[in-house]
Amino acid sequence: MHVDSPDSRHVISQGHCRTLGATVEEDGVNFAIWCPEAKELELLLFKSVDDDEPEIIPINSSIFNSEYYWHVKVFKVKPGQIYAWRVTSVLHSTTWSPNELNKVLLDPYGLRVLFPEQYERFQSDDEKENFRRCAKNAVIDVTEYEWGLDIHPKHSLNRTIIYEMHVKGFTAHPSSGLSPDLRGTYRGLIEKIPYLTELGITAVELMPVYQFDSKDARPGKSNYWGYSPMSFFAPHEGYAADKSLMGPIDEFRDMVKALHRNGIEVILDVVYNHTSEGDHNGPCYCFKGLDKRGYYIINKQGYFMNYSGCGNTLNGNSPVVRNLILDSLIYWKEVMHIDGFRFDLASILARDQEGVPLAASPTLLDIDGNRHLADTKIIAEPWDAGGLYQLGQIAGSKWREWNGQFRDDVRSFMRGDKGVIKRFASKMLGSPDVYNEHAVDPQKSINFITCHDGFTLWDLVCYAEKHNIDNGENNQDGNNNNISANYGYEGEIDDRQLNALRMRQVKNFMAITLLSMGTPMLLMGDEVLHTQRGNNNAYCQDNELTWFNWDFTKRQVDMLGFTKSLISLRQNGQLKARDRPHKHFLNNYLRESRLQWHGVKPFQPDWSDDSHSLGILVYYGVFNAYAYIFVNAYWEDLTVELPPAPNRLRRSWFKLLDTSKHYPEDVVIMLNRERFHAGDKLRVQARSLVVFMCMAT
């Protein structure tokens, strides 16, 4: 059936809901959307992003409705058409507030979001003002891009080095050497790929690149991190040098293709736990105006449940949201060639429509087992802001997890806290105390000391307290429990002895991250001692505080060289455990690993709560060598006796790493230096780490 729209500009037909969003077809575009409570909708077609007199196509007949879905085909519409939706009448008005009707709404499946020059988050009662100032979608045809011979690198997790980074922050600083139009863009990141390859990175984990609302912050601030999604299909326009219709989409794909060409995988930090519509005081630009009880968790009193800490919580196990999430993931995998996803506050997806945790979340299991995502890395942040903590318990065996206990236990042990040594030992071995299933490999654990949320690595050893005054929230925001230390002075200071101690500690943290079993993740800038001056919640700091500064000092160059050497060491040889166990406080995985534990004397580890040092002997697979690692987290030097090589080998030990040394003597990969032997007594400096190696044959 074909009919004319009221103003006769376009001919329409009933369309279909086989695909949602705006689908380009041979003779027009099919528009389809979920809105089960609607009695009448309008499809708005705009001539430009600032147009305040759109063509209005009423959709109020049953021929355009298939139960929960509304759809219409508009003939002769082409890619580039700007559009939006509006719900004008609903079946049960008691479930809708006046602020949620007659609003200009984005398409949840829209592939491109456009912003007028005078964009406003909150819509007024003035229809023309809303038309002119609201965000809108554009019809996009994504089939024209030429991928060429793009190949997914597909690194195994035990060969993966993840680099968590911010697209804009990586190149926005003037010191990047890029022209102003390239700074902070996808294209700018392409220019800096040689830095990543030289560092040894195999995967970048990009902080949110889905279109987000930069105005979702306190007055005078902007949302820098991007955990404020407006769309789950459109790339963020603000990171594109080319802001034409296809600019952000194609520029993003250019970046992915360039990274792949250099052997680097692309993992996206995705936010499927909330949107920037906030609670009842927030704006209504999409989901609220279509089906707020389908898209969000809302209690019986009608209030938005806030398990995300951002005002609302997506109803992750409702059919509409579960389908949206899967469709979004598959789109980014198949159309944008993404290699993996890190799920922000993934535990929210284990909550039902009332917020009650599910033992086996259908959504988490669907993501885990979806055939389209079979060769995709999926990583959970296994907690949420409502107190649900699921480390080691995320439903589905394919999931990998950000290991917050690795972060906390290593920080505590290296700070000198009591009663941590057993937990610390477990974390170095892939956290078998957490992942105690028999079928779990060490790479279940994503090991990190720092991430975007919290102190940088250098700030971790310079500040005992957070310093977030500049965020405008009276220092009330951000985590109070940082497990950090300043070692005698709060903040940076020109004190040679203190800075040497701090340098040893950051090297210790970096070494433990890269030597431990599991998959290591580094925070952008930690390899060059980036500081945020004690700000541990820099979500609204879109400035030089958070941007990567490419003008390195001598100390930063030394740290960079140390990190490169460590990554090279890890990439060229994987730690594998062999030989008999000494203690049995861990589970079967640890016992079967057949490790040797040592203290300041061979075979005499100190597992007491007052212990601050530990020796570990493991087999270094690719090198066919044994590695002896001694960690001294004590605040005084220790005299340590070297153990004998396993299997009664009469072979020499060579020192491979010593965090108390200055670069380039801190990592010596060529084993042609001084020889050491079993029984030799060595002085291991306070708060330092040493590694020795002995060839097995």
| Overall average pLDDT of the 220-244 stretch | 97
Q: What is the pLDDT of residue 442?
A: 75
* Residue among 645, 632, 631 nearest 675 (CA): 645
81-101 pLDDT tens trace: 999 999 999 988 767 777 789
Q: Would you place residue 588 in the very low, low, confident or very high pLDDT band (cuts 50, 70, 90)?
A: very low
What sign for the dihedral angle of Cα 678, 680, 686, 691? Answer: negative
Burial class (CB in 10 A: 0-12, 13-18, 19+), 95: middle
Q: What is the pLDDT of residue 470?
A: 96
| Overall average pLDDT of the 21-48 stretch | 97
Percent with pLDDT over 90 in the chain: 86
Helix (H/G/I), strand (E/B), else coil: 117 = coil
Q: How many CA atoms lie within 13 A of 424 on its CB side?
A: 29
Rounded to an integer, what is the distance from CA 461 to the centroid of its chain? Answer: 23
397-437 pLDDT tens trace: 899 999 999 999 999 999 999 999 999 999 999 999 999 76
Q: Bridge partners of 521?
A: 162
Rounded to an integer, what is the distance from CA 223 to the centroid of its chain? Answer: 16
Helix (H/G/I), strand (E/B), else coil: 63 = helix
Give catalytic residue positions: 344, 381
Residue owning tokens 């101690």: 501
| Overall average pLDDT of the 42-59 stretch | 97
pTM here is: 0.95
What sign for the dihedral angle of Cα 501, 504, 509, 512? Answer: negative
438-451 pLDDT tens trace: 556 778 999 999 99
6-32 pLDDT tens trace: 554 789 999 999 999 999 999 999 999
302 backbone φψ class: left, alpha, beta (φ>0; ψ -120 to 50): left
The helix or strand, by DSSP H or E, that contains position 368, with its residue range, turns out to be helix 362-369
Is the model more confident about 327 or about 437? 327
Decide if 327 contacts 285 (C-beta within 8 A).
no
Q: Would you place residue 263 in the very low, low, confident or very high pLDDT band (cuts 50, 70, 90)?
A: very high
| Overall average pLDDT of the 656-667 stretch | 94
Q: How many CB atoms lie within 10 A of CB 9?
A: 12
Query: Maximum CA pair distance of the chain?
Result: 93
Report, in angstroms and rounded to the nearest whole number, the Rg of the chain calculated over CA atoms.
Answer: 27
| Overall average pLDDT of the 585-602 stretch | 63
Report DSSP state, residue 314: B
Q: What is the pLDDT of residue 96?
A: 73
Amino acid at 180: P
Return the minimum-mean-pLDDT range out of 82-91, 258-267, 571-580, 630-639. Answer: 571-580
Q: Would you place residue 619 in the very low, low, confident or very high pLDDT band (cuts 50, 70, 90)?
A: confident
Quick check: 337 pLDDT over 90?
yes
Q: Where are the alpha helices (DSSP H) in 457-495?
A: 457-460
As a whole number of angstroms, the distance between CA 108 and CA 88 comes to: 18
Q: How many CA atoms lie within 13 A of 221 on its CB side?
A: 16
Decide if 164 contacts 259 (C-beta within 8 A).
no
Q: Would you place residue 3 in the very low, low, confident or very high pLDDT band (cuts 50, 70, 90)?
A: low
Decide if 257 contacts 303 (C-beta within 8 A).
no
Rounded to an integer, what is the distance from CA 505 to the centroid of its chain? Answer: 25
Q: Would you place residue 626 in the very low, low, confident or very high pLDDT band (cuts 50, 70, 90)?
A: confident
As a whole number of angstroms, the distance between CA 40 and CA 64 comes to: 10
Q: What is the pLDDT of residue 649?
A: 64
As a whole number of angstroms, the distance between CA 355 and CA 347 comes to: 11
Using the CB atoms, write b or e for 459-496: b if 16+ within 10 Å: bbbbbeebbbebbeeebebbeeebbbbbbeeeebeeee
Q: What is the pLDDT of residue 127?
A: 92
Which residues lie below 8 Å from residue 660, measured CB to CB, with a gap of 6+? 504, 666, 684, 685, 688, 690
Burial class (CB in 10 A: 0-12, 13-18, 19+), 631: buried
As a whole number of angstroms, the distance between CA 75 and CA 141 comes to: 16
| Overall average pLDDT of the 616-628 stretch | 80
Is the model more confident about 187 or about 440? 187
| Overall average pLDDT of the 521-545 stretch | 98
Decide if 466 contacts 479 (C-beta within 8 A).
yes
Phi and psi angles of residue 261, each rounded to the nearest 5 degrees, phi first: -60, -25
First to last CA, the chain: 80
Q: Bridge partners of 596?
A: 617
| Overall average pLDDT of the 74-83 stretch | 97
Instruction: Label the pairing between strands 162-165 and 519-523.
Output: parallel
584 backbone φψ class: left, alpha, beta (φ>0; ψ -120 to 50): alpha
Quick check: 491 pLDDT over 50?
yes
As a whole number of angstroms, the distance between CA 442 and CA 183 comes to: 38
Q: Would you place residue 578 in the very low, low, confident or very high pLDDT band (cuts 50, 70, 90)?
A: very low
Decide if 205 contacts 267 (C-beta within 8 A).
yes
Decide if 445 contacts 410 (C-beta within 8 A).
no
Helix (H/G/I), strand (E/B), else coil: 694 = strand
Burial class (CB in 10 A: 0-12, 13-18, 19+), 231: buried
Which residues lie below 8 Å from residue 136, measured CB to CB, with a gap of 6+? 46, 49, 82, 83, 84, 104, 106, 113, 114, 116
Q: Where are the alpha helices (DSSP H) in 573-668?
A: 588-593
Domains in the chain, ordered, with CATH?
Answer: 2-138 (2.60.40.10), 157-286+317-572 (3.20.20.80), 576-695 (2.60.40.1180)
Residue owning tokens 């580039």: 80
Omega within 30 of 0 (cis) for the link into 58: no
Instruction: Label the pairing between strands 38-46 and 28-34.
Output: unpaired
As a whole number of angstroms, the distance between CA 196 and CA 201 comes to: 6
Q: Bridge partners of 73?
A: 13, 30
Q: What is the pLDDT of residue 7?
A: 52
Query: Structure tokens of 598?
Result: 């040592």
Decide if 605 contacts 582 (C-beta within 8 A).
yes
Q: What is the pLDDT of residue 694?
A: 87
Q: Would you place residue 573 in the very low, low, confident or very high pLDDT band (cuts 50, 70, 90)?
A: low
Residue owning tokens 């990439």: 571
Q: What is the pLDDT of residue 535?
A: 98
Decide if 275 contacts 230 (C-beta within 8 A).
yes
127-136 pLDDT tens trace: 999 999 999 9
Decide if 690 contacts 658 (C-beta within 8 A).
yes
The per-residue pLDDT of the chain, averaged, comes to 92
Decide if 676 contacts 682 (C-beta within 8 A).
yes
As a whole number of angstroms, the distance between CA 96 and CA 35 comes to: 13
Quick check: 119 pLDDT over 70?
yes
As a whole number of angstroms, the distance between CA 544 and CA 534 comes to: 14
Query: Structure tokens of 202?
Result: 């195999």
Quick check: 154 pLDDT over 80?
yes
As a whole number of angstroms, the distance between CA 559 and CA 382 comes to: 31
